[in-house]
Structure 1
Amino acid sequence: MSAVLDNYEYLSGITGQMRDAAKQGEWDHLVELEHKCSERVEVMKAQPSPPTDEETRQRKVALIKKILADDAEIRNRTEVWMEQLQRIMTSARSERRLQQAYSAGQ
């Protein structure tokens, strides 16, 4: 396998792990994996991309599609989590204001 495909296979594996971490709500692990993914992308940017044969190109395209699908699912999961977190924070703020108003009236 070519170095280019090795990199895309690695990214595909990482994004799959990221997707699984997001599904399970393992946010700290997701962040760790995101750092690994970013590091590999930076390495890939620095490497030349040699011409490839059709089979390699098709495999690369399939891997990119999988990576993008994983990314979409990760975003969906994290957006839901962020919405829940926002509701919790809003509720806590409202409760704190109510307590302050009640305390001030005493």
Structure 2
Amino acid sequence: MSPKADYFAHYEAIAAVSERMLSAARDAHWNDLIDLEGEYRLLVDALKAADIGVRLTADERARKFELIRQILADDAAIRDLASPCMARLSALFVGTARPARVLQELYGAR
């Protein structure tokens, strides 16, 4: 695979994982989302190595920016979906001296 093809394969893989993460968030499959975040991080780390020395044409830069735009849009949508859940969890801790007890009540009963 050429360096450019490898470079774009990394971006496309990241975009595909971010799309799967958004789907998991929409379905409230938070454990799946967490698993996918690990895969996402590995791909981003690998992209850093693939990025070295790649020179892009104007069309290739446009393709790259479209992939980045898609990834960022997915990220924003995931954050919007996760925010209400995080707010509810934070509200449980307000006024309690025992956050561990709240977590035990939430997850221990399942």
Unaligned ranges ≥5, structure 1: 97-106
User: Aligned ranges for residues 56-67 of structure 1 at < 5 Å?
Assistant: 56-67=60-71
| Match in the other structure for 1:27 | 30
Return structure 1 stretches of 4+ with deviation > 4 angstroms. none
Structure 2, gaps ≥5 residues long? 102-110
1:36 to 35, 39, 51: 39
Structure holding more helix per residue: 1
How has the CA–CA distance of structure 1 residues 6 and 78 changed in structure 2, closer, same or farther, with 3 Å as cutoff? same
Aligned residues: 94
RMSD, aligned α-carbons:
2.2
Q: How far is the alpha carbon of 1:28 from its aligned partner? A: 0.4
Q: Give me the TM-score of the superposition, normalised by structure 2.
A: 0.75
C-alpha displacement at 1:90, in angstroms? 4.5
Distance across 2 between alignment mates of 1:55 and 1:49: 17
Structure showing greater radius of gyration is 1
TM-score scaled by length of structure 1 = 0.78
Deviations 1:12-58 (A, max 9, x none): 10000101111111000000100000001111112314101222111
Aligned-partner SS, 1:41: helix
